Structure 1
């Protein structure tokens, strides 16, 4: 299900809430108690989905498996308590023999998530996943795979019934408990994106929580850390904020005067400061005043005076239409930079609206938004101590989850 319209227009999708009403002399059967359980479970799911949202709460990192050559053939790393991995049925004996030689394995760490229906998905102790064993046979002609988890249930603890059901056949032995567990899902097809603006009113169409994308996967080679990209996972919350994912300058870097001119597009119609987003923002929100360039004068003489550099947005690509995932802002005046100047760039993210008319989450946390094309955020000396953002999953982006705020960055200018 996708929904890109105005927030709040979706029909509320929830079953009627009916709870058991006790009275003296009432005859209760197993179905009555099952319905009572379902009433409280539905209330919990509704509260979780509507008030808090869904996504990964903690843990559930996908990591390489070190030294997994000693794993037993066919061992998928799952314990009975954690729930079985989703694996395809294989009838070809040659394919089954190949399983023992698969080396493309990853490890899923323990953690907690909530799916789009409000079910809590708990992974205890973690597990190892053989990617090619878990892939459906029809999807093995790819070198890009996605790993996710899904809420699951299974009956446990067989119990002998004391009385037979008068209305139906009763087995000699029934399972007395239901265990809430998880299933691991691996696919070679790119998963759909939840584009709903309001995740409260309607249930999601896809209940799998995707945790990682693995590029250049090879069935017979170990998975390296640089092949695993966990930025596909959804952080826990009601909304997935749009953030700034890259800029075309290095925050805090020192450029020569000529390099700064090229960066600002002073003499190049195709130049200018480039800002890229995780999702589309409304092109009609790119208005004068949203971006501001201030130059703070330096040098060996009198300094600290400042002036504002005139600039304008370049016309977005016509194919972007109503939304764009990046903008370019270039200098339009002829003021020149001098040795020792500092160029301060301000983007008022609260005025940039995404597809759901929510403000871009623009706080430049730690000054770590990476430079486009280089993967570099700040100089190596400034990165010491914080290799990853607070979520534990890179790369860095803007945002604290609150939305809005101001994106600030700067660079310095030297004569040579």
Structure 2
């Protein structure tokens, strides 16, 4: 039996002691501060243990036309330099592109929109009015040799409203003038080094070491050129929750599209041992869970007259090979010689509940609205879906997922389910 006041080994939570009042008690500032700490620690524990952490809403990163002076700098940030000597200056026709004689104005500025997040310690990070960030000014001098930067926010506090004490305790070490309030704020962080990844499977029992909430990765940054919207990648954001599920980020076919018989054979790898349907994940899944029966290809016959007969197409995994423990993709090809005909529908099912990630959790596989984007089967890169948002050209009114930025992925946040997609076949 566990004694009162003890905690299981490895559970990172402070002792929870609340103030007990009694008649004739002498209370000081330290007692009231500890009472505040008790309620704050309870709230933080409840947030990170029961609900999780990450970006709740807003906090999007977008190009900003104005100067980046609206965000709080971190403590000890150095004064901005004039920029690298080989930087190409930018000058507007009216000369407004210059900060002063011989000094071009830095234009690598982005804006963080208002929003709310919870860091891994349970602190609420609130950005009320948004702010502009001069990436070059915020970037540490020893990290300015790269054109890829990461932008994030971090919880902070600062004392405000100085006041004088009515009564000065001669035995205390406090000054006559104190700050009466503590303001909860935030600090913008910009780095040129890829942030470490949180590899914890259970974020409830332990706190993370890195409390910065990273919001975006920006590629091709130059201090004297505006930031292009298509260079801002917000897939580094951690959505709010207990854990981040692995999702399907791309497939090698277009959902609901119509292919010719030859195109369908090429997709299925009918005559190509290195071909087959490609499915990509956001993170690693256990390769030993890619077993027979997880993927199924069903053909629903079409054509004139009576139809809708179905048959199952034989197939096998060709990627990954057996030497890998985890993989972020698989390739599944047809191994039988059945032929497709005009009007057939090829239904592809991936039983995501049987695919387990590094933490033995199921892949979140629901193909919501059939919006998982198509990727080039022979490449390792995501498609250029145009838009700074990653939206599909034919996505219709729901071009973006509910998060407000794209591209779409599978999943509803609950995990498991069956990923379903299909395409049609025509003769010519």
1:345 to 348, 363, 368: 348
Unaligned runs of 5+ in 1: 1-8
Residue number among 401, 404, 412 corresponding to 1:400 in the alignment: 412
1:386 corresponds to which of 382, 389, 398: 398
Partner residue, 2:57: 58
Out of 368, 371, 385, which is 2:374 matched to? 371
**1:244-303 deviation line (CA, Å, top 9, x unaligned):** 011111111111111111111111110111111011111111111111000011123432
Shift of 1:188: 0.5
Taking the aligned partners of 1:410 and 1:403, their CA distance within structure 2 comes to: 21
Q: What is the DSSP-based 3-state SS (H/G/I as helix, E as strand, rest coil) of the residue aligned with 1:314?
A: strand
Q: What is the Cα deviation at residue 135 of structure 1?
A: 0.4
Within the alignment, does 1:221 sit opposite 2:225 as a pair? yes
Equivalent runs, 1:16-415 vs 2, <5 Å? 16-66=15-65, 68=66, 71=67, 76-78=69-71, 83-84=72-73, 88-90=77-79, 101-318=105-322, 321-373=324-376, 374-375=383-384, 380-381=393-394, 383-415=395-427
Secondary structure at 2:246's aligned position in 1? coil
Q: CA deviation at 1:170?
A: 2.6
Instruction: Calculate the TM-score normalised by the size of structure 1.
Output: 0.91
Instruction: Identify if the C-alpha distance between structure 1 residues 386 and 358 changes in structure 2 by more than 3 Å, giving closer, same or farther.
Output: same
Q: State the distance in 2 between where 1:312 and 1:212 align.
A: 38
Task: Map Cα deviations across residues 194-251 of structure 1 (whole Å, 9 max, x no partner).
Answer: 1100000000110000000101111011111101111110000001000001111111
Distance 2:142 2:74 in 1: 18
Aligned pair count reads 396
The superposition leaves residues 319-359 of structure 1 with CA deviations (integer Å, 9 ceiling, x where unpaired) of 5x221111111111110001111100000101111111111
Q: Which residue of 1 aligns with 2:5?
A: none
Whether contact under 8 Å (2:258, 2:424) holds in the other structure is: yes
- CA RMSD in angstroms comes to 2.1
The 3-state SS of whatever aligns with 2:399 is coil
| Structure 1 residues 185 and 350, CA gap change in structure 2 (3 angstroms) | same
Q: Could you tell me whether the CA contact under 8 Å between 1:257 and 1:414 is conserved in 2?
A: yes
Instruction: Determine the structure 1 residue equivalent to 2:87.
Output: none
Output the TM-score relative to the length of structure 2: 0.88
1-side partners of 2:169 and 2:407: how far apart? 58
Task: Describe the SS at the equivalent of 1:234.
Answer: coil
Task: Return the structure number with greater helix share.
Answer: 1
Q: What displacement does 1:76 show?
A: 1.4
The residue number in structure 2 matching 1:4 is none
Q: Structure 1 residues 247, 92: closer, same or farther in 2, change over 3 A?
A: closer
CA distance in 2, matches of 1:45, 1:99: 47
Contact 1:293 1:309 survives alignment (8 Å): yes
Supply the distance in 2 between the matched residues of 1:100 and 1:33 (Cα, whole angstroms).
53
Shift of residue 314, structure 1, vs aligned partner: 1.6
Gaps of 5+ in 2: 1-7, 85-98, 377-382
Whether the 8 Å CA contact 2:391–2:400 is kept in 1: the answer is no
2: CA distance between counterparts of 1:10 and 1:317?
Answer: 39
Partner of 1:3: none
